[in-house]
Amino acid sequence: MKPRHEARVPEWRRRLLTRPAALGVVLVALAIIATALLQGVRSSGEPGDDPMGPAGGEPAPAALRGGSAFSTVEPGTQLPSGAECAQRIERDPWEPRPRNAAANHSVPQDHAVPAWTENGYAPEMNSRIIPRIDGQFTGTTNEIIAWGACKWGFDADMVRAMAVEESNWRQSETGDVTDDPAKCVGGDTAPCPTSFGLLQVKHTFRPGSYPYAQRHTAFNVDYALGAIRGCYEGWVTYLDSDYGPGDLWGCVGWHFSGEWKDPQAFDYIERVQEELDAKPWLRWRG
């Protein structure tokens, strides 16, 4: 059977969409939207969590304002190791999401991602992608994003934009709530989330991801970007006949919808590109 994601709405965005339409709530929501428009950022709507970061915090570092340190490399390019990328990234203490601290500074111990046994993937997915996923890096949220972008050969700003759309850079974020109790993990009961973390790794389609993609930010980013790199290389064989290597945005949409350029994928691509143009992280304080 073809893997496919259910219709996905990030939990932080779903909370905004499902609040009661009482007058007072509407007025508050309008105030939030107006503030976001003025500041050029989206609010998560979480009580006590300022989307701009801690009051009086430092602005985004100069390296971010100067552009992405890493860019997308073509299929077939030799990729650096995680250790090499840990040396390449520019370290900076800026942290707009201090609540990510525990997940940012922990890594899986002796965990190997199992092979993807489901039909629909080329052998290279298991020989070239899966063994590289280990999440062995710690740092700030932005450093982890840059590390993952370097390791998998992607534009770092594109990954930052995906993280805005998926979780607003919150590793604690959950999504893809299901009513199927068989898909619940960690002692949850239905309705329960099935996607976790910064890039919303969906455990039902990513073997060995839970609970590590929930507990460790670097593992979350590592797994999500590894899968996208496999798609970008052309190793997702169940997709439509017009799929092939080198279609970056098509693979970004696949990360979300599980299909090739269906309406869900196109909608997600558009939202990520809007975040990439706006770069809200440049206005966050840490």
The first and second tokens of residue 279, run together, are: 């770069």
Average pLDDT in the chain: 86
pLDDT tens-digit series, residues 229-255: 999 999 999 998 899 999 999 999 999
Percentage, residues of the chain above pLDDT 90: 72
User: What are the sequence ranges of the domains in the chain?
Assistant: 11-283
Say how far apart CA 237 and CA 225 lie, in whole Å.
18
Q: Give pTM, 2 decimals.
A: 0.84
How many whole angstroms separate alpha carbon 216 and alpha carbon 9? 22
The residue among 262 and 32 whose pLDDT is bigger is 262
pLDDT of 142 higher than 90: yes
- 55 confidence band (pLDDT: 50, 70, 90): low
Higher model confidence: residue 26 or residue 117? Answer: 117
Sheet holding 174-175, edge to edge: 174-175, 195-196, 201-202
Convert the pLDDT of each residue in 84-94 to its tens digit.
999 999 999 99
88-129 pLDDT tens trace = 999 999 999 999 999 999 999 999 999 999 889 999 999 999
Helix axes 263-278, 156-167, angle to 10 degrees: 110
pLDDT > 70? residue 11: no
CB 37 within 8 A of CB 29: no
The residues facing 175 across adjacent strands are 10, 195
Contacts of 45 (CB under 8 A, 6+ apart): 12, 15, 16, 32
13-22, 144-153, 209-218, 265-274 — which is least confidently predicted? 13-22
Q: How many C-beta neighbours within 10 Å does residue 2 have?
A: 11
Number of other CB atoms surrounding residue 201 within 10 Å: 25
